[in-house]
Every structure is written in C-alpha cells, then in structure tokens.
Amino acid sequence: MIKLIITDMDGTLLTSDNKLPDGFETVYQQVREAGIQFVVASGRQYYILKQEFEHIDHNILFVAENGGFIDYGKSTLLLNPFSKPDTRELIEAIRKIDGVYPVICGRDSAYIENDDPDFMKEVGVYFVKCQQVDDLTNLDDELLKIAVCDFRNPEFNSYSLLKSFNDRFQVSISSHIWLDIMPLEVNKGEAVRFLQQHLGITAEETMVFGDYLNDCQMMQAAYHSYAMANAHPDLKKVARFRTHSNDDHGVLKTIQEKLLILPE
C-alpha cells in the first residue's frame, strides 16, 4: 500500500511551460483523502515551491534545495547548511570557470553577483526571493546550496571542472543548464529516507517520480521509482519503472492507474 508520494517539479510534475498539469487539484485531493502524504522534492527554492501551491488548500510537504531544506507548514524538519569556509572555496573555484553564473541559495534568500540578461531570465523562473550583492563570499545567511547556471551545458562544461569536489560535496547536474552543489550528505535520496523514518513509512510504501540526474538517489530510496519518458538516459537506468512524459501528465496518470484513482 502506498503511503508516500514524492515528485520532482521541473520536467516531472510541471509541464514544459512550467505549469501544474490539468487535473492536478482533483487528483491531489483524492490522494489526500486516501491518507497518502504528498511531497514535492525539488532543487528549487522553498519560497517558489510554496508560491506554486498557495492557491489550493493542501498539506503538501516541501523538500527544497535538493534536500537541504525540508518544510512542513510552519515547521522546519531539516536544515543542512554549508560552512562558511566551504562556501568561499567553492565560489572561488566557480569564478574561474568561463561562462557560468553562480547562485548562492540561502534559507532567507538567494544571492547573485551578475545581472546578465539571459541569466536573470533563468533566475526569475526559479527564485522568488533573490538579492544582487557585491561579494557572494560575504553573506549573512544559512547557505544551503550553490546553483551554477551553465549555458554551455554542465554535463560537458562545469561538471568536468567541479567533479573533483565530489569527495567532499554533493555535485549534481539538475538540468541541461543547471548544476547544484550541496553538503556531502545532502541529496533527495537522503531527504526521502529522513521522511520515511520521520513518518514511519517504508521504501515499499513509497512512490517517487523524477527526470534528471539529481533525482538518482531518490530513485534508490523507494521501491516504486518512476522515470519520466523525457528523463535523462542515466536516470532511466536507475529507476525501476517508466511513465509518460511530463507534458503527457505522467505523474497524474501513474497515480490514477496504480492507486485506482479514476479521473473525473
């Protein structure tokens, strides 16, 4: 019996135009009435996740910043920040890479140095609270993640230059233009295990959905692991099952089919 459903946002639950799929509210309410906890697990900032669902009455639990911040209502269940020396070291390394733009993701806000128009357009999609500062190494906040915007594709550019940090940090490619760096113990898989323990739910009672490489550990934390049809090939190798694409509403269709919830 499924007791916990966890879904990524971009490329998974959201359609390609960054919208919730038609019928989401109906299916969500049916899931809620069945006593199943619904969780959104994303590399996105907590504040934009909260904004996305503020138009509906819900008890959705948010896993933000790839697992660095877990919030439920007015309660913070988990917070895993960087140390300040680690943040400085990483920022200085990123500054040496041509054509990339770092975003420092804090508990209170995101922070940027550059105002390149193309970069600012991407920042506007993923960050509600964001401040431009003179020096990213001098921030007074709990710093949860460093997001690197890489228009050259991080899989072939910035990751090759930052993967040497993998023994000390979690370096994960989250899309074709974003790479995320978190403290070593922070990833969506660890967040799922934390929630399973917190809620008393097993991996066999957990269903997860994802599309990109930062979802790999999450796939390994649940028996019912689904890769979207549009998922990265390497994620498909990790997931146990496949579903339709995000634009074909794969998350909703799988919930309806597997949990016998029929669309109205």
Q: How confident is the model over 136-158, as pLDDT tens digits? A: 999 999 999 999 999 999 999 99
Strand partners, 37: 4
Host domain of residue 232: 4-79+187-258
Count of structural domains within the chain: 2
Same domain, 39 and 101: no
Last residue of a domain, one of 183, 217, 234: 183
Same domain, 13 and 46: yes
Instruction: Report the sign of the C-alpha dihedral through residues 211, 56, 5, 171, in that order.
Output: positive
Residues 255, 261: Cα–Cα separation, whole Å: 7
Q: What CATH number has the domain bearing residue 13?
A: 3.40.50.1000
Does some domain include residue 264?
no
Overall average pLDDT of the 6-24 stretch: 97
The H or E element that residue 79 is part of is strand 75-79
Same domain, 121 and 247: no
Residue 254 has pLDDT above 90, yes or no: yes
Residue with tokens 């694409």: 245
Predicted pLDDT at 259: 86
Residue 72 has pLDDT above 90, yes or no: no
Q: What are phi and psi of 210, to 5 degrees?
A: -160, 170
Which candidate in 8, 71, 211, 215 is catalytic?
8
Assess whether 115 carries a catalytic annotation.
no
Last residue of a domain, one of 151, 183, 215: 183
Query: Would you place residue 177 in the very low, low, confident or very high pLDDT band (cuts 50, 70, 90)?
Result: very high
Residue 263 has pLDDT above 60, yes or no: no
Residues 179, 175: Cα–Cα separation, whole Å: 7
Last residue of a domain, one of 140, 156, 183: 183
| Mean pLDDT of the chain, nearest integer | 95
Global pTM exceeds 0.85: yes
